[in-house]
Structure 1
Amino acid sequence: MKQFILLVILLFNADLIYAQKLFPSEYVFRSSIVDSTDSLSSNTNTMRSNVVTEVILQGEKLVWLGTGLGISIIRDSLSIETIQDTMELANGSFTNRIPIGGISAMATGDQGGPYEKFMFAAVAGSENDIPIGKGIVFTTDATDSTINWIYYDQPIDDALSDTIPFGDIGFIAVLPVTVPQANVTYDMDLSEEFAWTASWAGGLRRFKFSDQVWERVPLPMDNQYELTTCKDTSYIRVGGKYILKDYYLNPRDPLDGGNHNHKAFSVLSYSDTIWVGTANGINRGILGSGNCIDWKHYSYPMDNLSGNFVVGLEIQRLNGKRIIWAATVNADDPTEQRGLSYTIDDGLSWNTALLGERIYNIASFDSLVFAASANGLWKTEDGINWALYNPAHQAIPVPNTAIYDLDEVLADEVYSIAFDNRSYYGDRSIWIGTGDGAAHSYDLDGLNWKVFRAEYDIDEDYAYPNPFSPYTHNVLNNNGYVRFHTNEWSGTFVIDIDIYNFAMEKVFATSFDKRNSSSGTLKWDGRDQQGTYVHNGVYFVKLTYPDNQNSKPSPHWVKLIVVK
């Protein structure tokens, strides 16, 4: 048994290194280690991580944020709470906590549907730099003030089960996946009977609501353009079982007899149809009687996808038609490209858009399509002409004053996008998740945003991240930034910033004026007054502002380490 587990880890390791390139570079699954972009506070009335990879809308006003350190919930457009986590959970247990780790996938039922109060969330971590699935939590009362979860270990297989039942007809031959290593759930979706999960090593699986059992689902092998599991003639009697002919479910590398198409990244379901994105294209399945599935398999270059790694899926409903959008990434073939691939005829033909862009997530509403990418948020109304949003910038007027409540997202990459047509948020608004927090815009042009970010210590002055690298931290338009937090009087107009090296020589000075709506946030790009990056070392930052309404501006010192 132990030898088999070790073998599985070694076999997946080569593929795993390549797969990790698909996901946000800042998104590191953590079990107990946080970095300087995350809050060290255990307070549940705040976000604990600024890395937001999932934005899920539910009910009349709930907004769920899947972050690098758990789940946060916005209940009233302003305040945030974070669900408590724990390391002490047993498979099948009822709990009001979730596992410690990053949120790798979330899904809820459709508004007005039978599962509108359901919520599934997958948690992940890492061991020795190998991603590991840390389980799935499920609740039927996600809209209640108190949420009760059922926890399930990361779905795996019995090591001795080399055949498994599927549908009501027969069995399929499989390579058991017996460990959570490299078995991270990257996407989820809910249909009428099932919750569907897409995992790298675990492949496509489904959870039946009626009996709450996880089931492994076969996908076409790499060389199959279709796979039929709903006909008796597809099976052959072997011993006392009817086995699917000429088929082996095996997510190893093809050089080891496996199939890239059995490594799943994304899933989308509606009615009797399911779409699955894998490491070898897109699969369209039609559910038959007994919940068997007949599949069509589309891949590059034959079907005109831009690339074979399919990491996101979205359905657009427009004028009685449906358009399937896919975030497609270049895989093995050097002629593949990053971008979007889409079909208007259920897979008979495919088109591409935004070629060269690394797309993480897609959302749509009527004629609008949004794409969250490494370069920011894109929008189109015709699928052909795309516009790139400016980075999220907050400038909310403070009533009865001359100042603004200022903030900005210091990140190019947008990881997640959600279109919000609920009346509580103004019928037509958008939410985004980034590596520097979440943001909400009440207008579709993104002219003004409300930024949500992890709290640190609201009563202290500090710099973050610290240590700071202008090459890797908070990179926006090719410039990296360190952010400063102050505890100034709320009516302060101006904060002066002076930065000194270890010899107490001034290297940079500026002023931050809260009366100027374009000021953004209190930050520094690591350059001196001449625009040259400062040397590595210790720097002292003097922030000058009044402590209260009756005091004069006074200096407040922060120590900062610059490491390029």
Structure 2
Amino acid sequence: MKKILFAIASLFFISPSFAQVVGPSPSTFNSIRQNGVSSISANGDTVWTSPALTRNIGNSPDWFRPSGIDSIDNGIGRVFSLSVNQDTVVSGLGFTSETLAGTQPAGYGYYISVDGGENWRFSEFLLDRFIEGDTTFTYGGTLYTRKRIIVPEQSPPYNVDFKGDVIFSANWASGLLRSTDFGQSWERVVLPPFGESELTPDRNDYVWMDCSAVQNGTCIEFENIYNSVDDDNLKGFAVHIDSQNRVWYGGAGGINVSENALTAPLDSISWRNSNTDGSSTGILGRWIIEIREDTSNGRIWMTNWIADSNDRFGIVFTDDGGQTFGQRLIGQKILGIGFKDGYVFAAGENGLFISPDGGDTWQKKGQIKNPNTFLKSSAEFQAITVTNNRVWIGTTDGIISTDDLGETWEITRVNFPLSGGNQYDTDAGSVDTYAYPNPFSPTQHELVRIRFEASNSGDIQVRIFDFGMNLVRELDSYTATSPGSYEAIWDGVDGKGRRVANGPYFYQVKTSGNTVNGKILLIE
């Protein structure tokens, strides 16, 4: 849900950073499994990441995927959400379902571990019995009707959180789910209808509009049926349990706060809802996809996305339980928020923003790079977590981390060693070089990386040829200062700054005492 393709002004022009050699880079056997990381969570010195449930302890070079997660290893399940506290890990799983309407994200279930990932228990995704017709529920002593949810499509667990034996899961078409027995069973939490400022069991006249006729975009006929697909406030995206045991729920109808959802029976859970009102002390947009607490001061932060024409992107915070809000980063589409030592980090589609003073002032970081590698300039920043000594950020181009609040960065990507096999195939043959991604699309991927080994220090020359072996581009010269694995970067542009045509291209890498060759298929 956190991916948007950007049109960039440099489409037909080169940037020097896209035609160079970088390294040496680590050649770790056990690396992350995918460069796109949209969910990341940590406790102590251990960090867990999506989409394959990989774990790192103490900023080790190695990332491990535990055993006992067959639904991910050999099945279709992928990690959509994570919540970690001490040795307990709750992972919300989804999958991509092929339907007549096209591909749809779907709910799959949950993996739960209470021993740091040594053992796992699978919890089935909640679906209603396949019976035609609606069903009923009781709230505040009044009987209401709701639509059955009999398929997992459009219900991936976008966010999970837990405290004690209680787990909450925010799922789009399934709304907010709760388990009070740590995943043994699940129940559906009743939420306020869109437009209502509160839900209390003292009232018996709530109306959830299930629209049956629309005219000019306006519902003109409806039934009073609880239906997540038709009510924006019921569409679940975010959930958080704060240090005061309040439950915060974010849908597409604003932010909802409950003082008793952690412990109350389903028919007695009360909620307060805050929607956009155009004021300077309200939320910016009513679509909430992330809720986080700065535990150093109890301040609750949340992302605001656009759900209608009156909304604005940005983030807001509240110090009074959701009565009033401070607005920050107005106009920025933020996906993740994190905190460390008084700093606030905001991960967005348009960059990484850091505030050194608790959110009062902000700086946008430039392209993330270190002496050995860099993130693509088009990388989106998607999720943030914090271990004892580091801030970790999931991006569309790998994981970055910092132990000095953003002054310097480590960059972690999927790695396939040139020799000795890899984490997918331990018996894989050795190669002299490879290029990835391959096939390569400059529009979709921005750049291609050519990996090779330099056995000695010395000059490195990388040249690109077309099918007729005409020189297309010679990358910037580079001198290897030590043996190791290096990467040459090419953006699909020739030596005159022109985007090259589709087709096969050959590359030649000359290092001190060795020459290797490879092929790249360029397809727009």
TM-score (norm 2): 0.80
Q: Is the 8 A contact 2:286 2:307 kept in 1?
A: yes
Extract unaligned runs of 5+ from structure 2. Answer: 6-27, 223-229, 420-429
Residue in structure 1 matching 2:190, options 209, 218, 237: 218
Displacement after TM superposition at 1:170 (Å): 6.7
Matched residues in 2 for 1:251 and 1:373: separation? 34
Write out per-residue CA displacement over residues 210-258 of structure 1, whole angstroms, 9 at most, x where no aligned residue: 68210101111112111013xxx435xxxxxxxxx43449699984853
The residue that corresponds to 2:452 in the other structure is 486
SS state at 2:270 partner? strand
Determine which structure has greater relative contact order: mean sequence separation of CA pairs < 8 Å that are 6+ residues apart, divided by chain length.
Answer: 2
Q: Is the 8 A contact 1:298 1:347 kept in 2?
A: yes
Residue in structure 2 matching 1:316, options 272, 294, 301: 294
The residue that corresponds to 1:350 in the other structure is 325
For residues 34-73 of structure 1, what are the structure 2 equivalents within 5 Å?
A: 45-58=30-43, 60-67=44-51, 70-73=52-55
2:481 matches 1:498: no
Displacement after TM superposition at 1:131 (Å): 2.3
Q: Is the 8 A contact 1:249 1:262 kept in 2?
A: no
Matched residues in 2 for 1:520 and 1:416: separation? 28
How many percent identity over aligned positions? 24
2:52 matches 1:80: no
The residue that corresponds to 2:250 in the other structure is 277
Matched residues in 2 for 1:448 and 1:246: separation? 52
Q: Is the 8 A contact 2:285 2:313 kept in 1?
A: yes
Displacement after TM superposition at 1:352 (Å): 1.6
For residues 128-527 of structure 1, what are the structure 2 equivalents within 5 Å?
A: 128=99, 129-143=102-116, 147-160=118-131, 162-164=135-137, 172-209=144-181, 212-229=184-201, 233-235=202-204, 245-248=205-208, 255=219, 257=222, 258-270=230-242, 271-287=244-260, 290-291=264-265, 292-301=268-277, 304-318=282-296, 321-333=297-309, 335-365=310-340, 367-380=342-355, 381-395=357-371, 406-410=372-376, 411-420=378-387, 422=388, 427=389, 429-455=390-416, 457-458=418-419, 459-460=430-431, 461-473=433-445, 480-489=446-455, 491-510=456-475, 511-515=477-481, 521-527=487-493
Distance 1:84 1:498, change over 3 A: farther
Q: CA RMSD in A?
A: 3.0
2:518 matches 1:558: yes
For residues 80-119 of structure 1, what are the structure 2 equivalents within 5 Å?
A: 80-83=63-66, 99-109=75-85, 111=86, 116-119=87-90
Q: Is the 8 A contact 2:29 2:416 kept in 1?
A: no
Write out per-residue CA displacement over residues 164-223 of structure 1, whole angstroms, 9 at most, x where no aligned residue: 3569x6765321111011111111111234111011101101111268210101111112
Displacement after TM superposition at 1:83 (Å): 4.0
TM-score (norm 1): 0.75
Matched residues in 2 for 1:286 and 1:221: separation? 18
Distance 1:486 1:521, change over 3 A: closer
Extract unaligned runs of 5+ from structure 1. Answer: 1-21, 27-42, 90-95, 236-244, 396-405, 474-479, 547-551
Q: Is the 8 A contact 1:86 1:99 kept in 2?
A: no
Q: Is the 8 A contact 1:392 1:449 kept in 2?
A: no
Matched residues in 2 for 1:345 and 1:269: separation? 15
SS state at 1:204 partner? strand
Write out per-residue CA displacement over residues 483-534 of structure 1, whole angstroms, 9 at most, x where no aligned residue: 1111332x44442110011121111102233449xx9952111111122222
Q: What number of residue pairs does the alignment pair up?
A: 463
Matched residues in 1 for 2:80 and 2:239: separation? 13
